[in-house]
Amino acid sequence: MLTHSGIGLGEVATDGADLYWVESRPTEAGRSVIVRRTPDNAIQDVSPPGFNSRTRAHEYGGGAYAVRDGVVISSSFRDQRVYRLDGSEPRPITPEPDLPAGDRYADYAFHKDLIICVRERHLGDAEAVNELVVFPIDGSAPPRTIAGGHDFISSPCVSPDGTRLAWLTWDHPNMPWDGTDLWLAGIGPDGTLDDATRMAGGPEESIFQPEWSPNGALHFISDRTNWWNLYRLEGSGEVAALIPMEAEFGAPQWLFGFRRYAFLDSGAVVAVYERDGMSTFGVLDDGQLHTRKLDRNVIAPTLAVASGRVWTAAAGTAKPAAVVGIDPDSGDQQLIRNSLSIELEEAYFSLPQPIEFPTTGGAFAHAFYYPPANADFVAPEGELPPLVVWTHGGPTGSTSPAFALARQFWTSRGFALVDVNYRGSTGYGRVYRNALRGQWGVVDSDDCIAAARYLADQGLVDRRRMAIRGGSAGGYTALCALAFHDEFATGASYFGVADIGALAEETHKFESRYMDSLVGPYPEAAELYRERSPIYHTDQLSRPMVILQGLDDEVVPPDQAEMMIKALERKGIPYSYLAFEGEGHGFRKAENIERSAEAELFFYGWVFGFAPAGDIGPIEIRNA
């Protein structure tokens, strides 16, 4: 069920009355497919067989396609060129780069018969160059640079009258959630910019999603008051707050193309915001915010408006993700495409319970607790469940209470699960987000441990049988918890970081200076990096662990996992290592998702002393 009954849904867009979205299909090797729904409810693939609509810009991608007047353009994962998908065969409209897959495109905007977008140009050993380029939609001329001079650039947005362009930039060592600048310029018929002016932002202000209203007023989201709130740029150049709230309308720009608000034809704003980890959908009209109660209230950051409805991908706590159309007046949701092809009874679901708990330094942290749940089974009398602690990646990111089979995989088998929004997570204001500055590997691990202790003290879990697991930065947090503390009996690292100093030297451009704020400047703070890297403290490690790694990972290269394996082998600590050919940073193929989930369960069973039910293939446990 985890791998063969579901698809990923996102990147919703509209073109007239046509609706588009992207499906990630594990049974097609994780291929991303653009799908179109016409007004007569006909649904068909736009991406032809074998075409993977995905960009590698910033390595994480997003914003890989756009559509206007029936013409769909898309990045191709194979060669990273831009293609038109409006004929029988995809037709490239950007040239073959000198370096294979070296020119990567994302974040498309249309301007007359031109395309404006981000190009990330890789130049061999030199750092990649990010800039805005323009080129004809028919591919008759190569891309031409119209804005650059900064380390990063995103979010090009053309005004309704076609005379102005807004965009965002930021520079090392900032990440986009640290500080960005909002730019505004005149734009000519050929895409040439004039009188580019910085309108807002700075090194300690994160600007998110510039967007034009139907009457030509530029809006954007800023965290200048601690919270990502919505603002409008007035004709005088002054900035007006539309609805000041202790809530987050923005999100960290890990991907291109995020849209958390949009405009109805009336000029009213529809938006999604988060408070205490929970999402709310609202309509802002004449200075008043009207919230709507939705069945699926965890909404993806891809809002689009057409035919009087707001189109997006959304999930509930007990409802799987789906492409839906929301009536902005009533909140009724029209279901278009469900991510699951099977029906499940809610009696098998574990529903999230938000918790706030004390942690180190007199602070409090947040999480969602999921108790075990299965309609067919109960635990033996007096037995407490084992606990698996989930720690999200990023680390600047968050977990949400959206229904996910990946969590139910554990809770339906008798595990309790806690998904932690440690200090540094988004959704709780900039101060909470900045609490991780200089403290990565410390307060995130502390908060995961505090969550586990809190649940054990409440009598909800067995403190002798607790595991921690995470992917990417979450894998690093898990490794730190296992290397520097003894609260957990075991754990799992999915493409986790073992040596943060090595990562600082070899990771991709987007994150190459990320750790300046999380740990300290490198190599000046090399000793601190060594102190925080689990690989150098295996003498303190005594807990068995399972490590899983994609061999094509460009974000956290396989040598990170291999260094950890060698250390575990030398010390004689039991471990399992699963490496997957053809997988990058995050597993996309059905067979690998299934194998990794079962391997993790098998390993925990070996540690905790139970045999998992079902037909689960064993894994090799070294040093057992």
| pLDDT score, position 588 | 85
Is the separation of the CB atoms in 235 and 276 below 8 Å? no
> What is the rounded CA–CA span in Å between residue 156 and residue 133?
10
Clarify whether residues 291 and 399 are in a common domain: no
pLDDT in tens, 144-201: 999 999 999 999 999 999 999 999 999 999 999 999 999 999 999 999 999 999 999 9
4 with 21: CB under 8 angstroms?
no
Q: Are residues 224 and 298 in the same domain?
A: yes
Q: Is the pLDDT of residue 518 over 90?
A: yes
Q: Is residue 550 very low, low, confident or very high in pLDDT (cuts 50, 70, 90)?
A: very high
Residue 16 lies in a domain: no
Q: With contact defined as beta carbons under 8 Å apart, do 567 and 540 qualify?
A: no
Cβ-Cβ contacts under 8 Å for 344 (sequence gap 6 or more): none
- Determine, yes or no, domain membership for 78: yes
- For 53-103, the pLDDT digits (tens) are 999 999 999 999 999 999 999 999 999 999 999 877 999 999 999 999 999
Range of the domain at 119: 46-338
- Supply the pLDDT for residue 237: 87
Tell me the C-alpha distance between 293 and 306, whole Å.
21
Residue 47: what pLDDT?
A: 97
Does residue 314 lie in a domain region?
yes
Pair 62, 207 in one domain: yes
Query: Which comes out higher in pLDDT, residue 449 or 88?
Result: 449
* pLDDT of 28: 92
Looking at the fold, whether 416 and 523 belong to one and the same domain comes out as: yes
Which residue, of 278, 309, 338, is where some domain finishes?
Answer: 338
Tell me whether the omega of the peptide bond preceding residue 395 falls within 30 degrees of 0, making it cis.
yes
Tokens of 482: 């296992």
Check: CB of residue 426 under 8 Å from CB of residue 251.
Answer: yes
Q: Is the pLDDT of residue 402 over 90?
A: yes
Q: Would residue 241 count as lying in a domain?
A: yes
- pLDDT at residue 1 in the model: 81
**pLDDT, averaged across the chain:** 95
Is residue 457 within a helix (H) or strand (E), and if so which, with residue range? helix 443-457
Q: Are residues 329 and 430 in the same domain?
A: no
| Residues 259, 375 share a domain | no
Residues 6+ apart with CB under 8 A from 230: 219, 220, 221, 241, 242, 243, 249, 261, 269, 271, 284
pLDDT digits (tens, 9 = 90+) for 103-155: 999 999 999 999 999 999 999 889 999 999 999 999 999 999 999 999 999 99
pLDDT at position 617: 83
* Mean pLDDT, residues 544-549: 96
Domain containing 579 — which CATH number? 3.40.50.1820
pLDDT at 284 over 90: yes
Q: Kindly list the distances between the CA atom of residue 555 and the CA atoms of 10, 126, 315, 510, 512, in Å, as whole numbers in the listed order.
A: 22, 17, 28, 10, 10
In-domain check, residue 229: yes
Q: Would you state the pLDDT for residue 120?
A: 98
Single residue among 338, 369, 386 that ends a domain in this structure:
338
**How far is residue 417 CA from its own chain's centroid?**
21
Q: Which of 320, 518, 505 is nearest to 435 (CA)?
A: 518
State the pLDDT at residue 72.
97
Beta bridge partners of 66: 73
Residue whose C-alpha is closest to residue 585's, from 54, 107, 175, 53: 54
Asked whether residue 27 is domain-assigned, the answer is: no
Q: What is the mean pLDDT of residues 339-364?
A: 92
The pLDDT value given to residue 75: 98
**What is the residue whose two structure tokens read 């009258």?**
161
What CATH number does residue 296 fall under? 2.140.10.30
In contact, 564 and 493? CB cutoff 8 Å: yes
In the chain, % of residues over pLDDT 90: 88
Is residue 312 within 8 Å of 302, Cβ to Cβ? yes
Q: In terms of domains, do 309 and 380 share one? A: no
Question: Are residues 288 and 426 both part of a single domain?
Answer: no
555-582: per-residue pLDDT in tens? 888 998 998 999 999 999 999 999 999 9
Looking at 288, 309, 338, the residue that finishes a domain is 338
Same domain for 375 and 307 = no
State the pLDDT at residue 541.
86
**d(C-alpha 75, C-alpha 78), whole Å:** 9
Query: pLDDT class for 369, splitting at 50, 70, 90?
Result: very high
Q: Are 118 and 252 contained in the same domain?
A: yes
Compute CA distances 133 → 114, 118, 340, whole Å: 10, 6, 39
pLDDT at 189: 97
Co-location of 496 and 469 in the same domain = yes
- Which pLDDT belongs to residue 277? 87
Task: Tell me what pLDDT residue 455 has.
Answer: 98
Indicate whether 623 belongs to any domain.
Answer: no
The domain total for the chain is 2
Residues 233-280: tens digit of each pLDDT: 998 889 999 999 999 999 999 999 999 999 999 999 999 999 988 899
* pTM listed for this prediction: 0.94
In a domain, 383, yes or no: yes
Question: 375 and 286 in one domain?
Answer: no
**Rounded-to-10 torsion of CA 221, 223, 229, 232:** -50
